[in-house]
Amino acid sequence: MVTSNTQAIRRAGIAFIVGAGITALGGAVSQVAQTSAAVSDQTWSYPWSSDAFVPITLLWASAHALIIVGLLAFRRSGLAGATRTAGVGLALAVLGTVLLLAGEVASVPIRDHNLEDTGPAIVGGLFGLATLLSAGSPRLARVQTTNLCRRRTLYREPGPTGTPIRLVP
Cβ burial, residue 107 (10 Å; 0-12/13-18/19+): buried
- Closest by CA to 141, choosing from 78, 98, 68, 99, is 78
Higher per-residue confidence, 128 vs 6: 128
Owning domain of residue 86: 6-166
The answer to whether 85 and 143 have CB atoms below 8 angstroms apart is yes
Total of domains in the chain: 1
pLDDT of residue 85: 78
Q: Give domain status of residue 33, yes or no.
A: yes
pLDDT at 126 over 90: yes
pLDDT of residue 90: 87
pLDDT digits (tens, 9 = 90+) for 8-52: 888 998 999 999 999 999 999 999 998 888 899 999 999 999 999
Cβ burial, residue 115 (10 Å; 0-12/13-18/19+): middle
pLDDT of residue 55: 96
Across the range 146-151, mean pLDDT stands at: 54
SS3 percent helix, strand, coil of the chain, rounded to 5, is 65, 5, 30
pLDDT digits (tens, 9 = 90+) for 131-141: 988 887 666 65
Rounded Cα–Cα distance for residues 156 and 150 (Å): 6
Give 55-93 as a 3 state SS string.
HHHHHHHHHHHHHHHHHHHHHHHCCCCCCHHHHHHHHHH
pLDDT, mean over the chain = 83
Across the range 99-118, mean pLDDT stands at: 96
Rounded Cα–Cα distance for residues 100 and 131 (Å): 7
Global pTM value: 0.77
Q: Give domain status of residue 1, yes or no.
A: no
